[in-house]
């Protein structure tokens, strides 16, 4: 399971250090793609396979299903960790997520998300106030 928030930078060559706590669960190579809210999603290969199977069941006759799967899969690529624990983020994904320098890497259960720091800060600030209301409407947990 992935959890936590880490701040890192993308270097001039487009490389990003993956937090040590995420490396073992991600494996030496893993899948990264366009995510929602203009961040990147990264999945261990086993989790990606499960997600792929679910997305295969979407009806290709529905325009929204075709749009989503095209968007999601066309941005996907396999990345490898180098000896320093870095990955090379493809330029198209860096552009999509506006990753130029400072970024935030967060654990979200079965995936990690990579955010432009400014976007994450804005998203977090706008979502923080509604966190309790969202929890009440969608989560049924006895905490």
Q: What is the pLDDT of residues 39-96, one digit of tens each?
A: 999 999 999 999 999 999 999 899 999 999 999 999 999 999 999 999 999 999 999 9
Question: Considering the domain boundaries, does residue 138 fall inside one?
Answer: no
In a domain, 43, yes or no: yes
Residue 130 lies in a domain: no
Task: Give the structural domain span for 82.
Answer: 5-117
Asked if residue 66 is part of any domain, the answer here is yes
135 lies in a domain?
no
pLDDT of residue 129: 76
Give the number of domains in the chain. 1
Residue 71 forms part of a structural domain: yes
Q: What is the 3-state secondary structure (H, E, C) of the chain?
A: CEEEEEEEEECCCCEEECCHHHHHHHCCEEEEEECHHHCEEEEEHHHHHHHHHHHHCCCCCCHHHHHHHHHHHHCCEEEECCCCCEEECCHHHHHHHCCCCEEEEEEEECEEEEEEHHHHHHHHHHHHCCHHHHHHHHCCCCC
- In the structure, what pLDDT confidence band is assigned to residue 108 with cuts at 50, 70 and 90? very high
140 in a structural domain: no
């Amino acid at each position: 399971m992935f959890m936590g928030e880490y701040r890192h930078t993308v270097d001039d060559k487009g490389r990003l250090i993956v937090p040590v706590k995420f490396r073992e669960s991600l494996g030496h190579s893993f899948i990264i793609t366009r995510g929602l809210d203009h961040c990147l999603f990264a999945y261990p290969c086993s989790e990606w396979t499960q997600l792929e199977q679910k997305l295969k069941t979407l009806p290709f006759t529905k325009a929204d299903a075709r749009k989503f799967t095209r968007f999601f899969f066309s941005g996907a690529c396999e990345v490898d960790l180098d000896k320093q624990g870095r990955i090379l983020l493809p330029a198209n994904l860096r552009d999509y997520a506006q990753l130029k320098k400072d970024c935030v890497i967060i654990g979200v259960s079965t995936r990690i998300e990579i955010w432009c720091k400014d976007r994450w800060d804005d998203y977090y600030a706008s979502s923080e106030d509604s966190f309790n209301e969202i929890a009440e409407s969608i989560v049924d947990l006895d905490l």
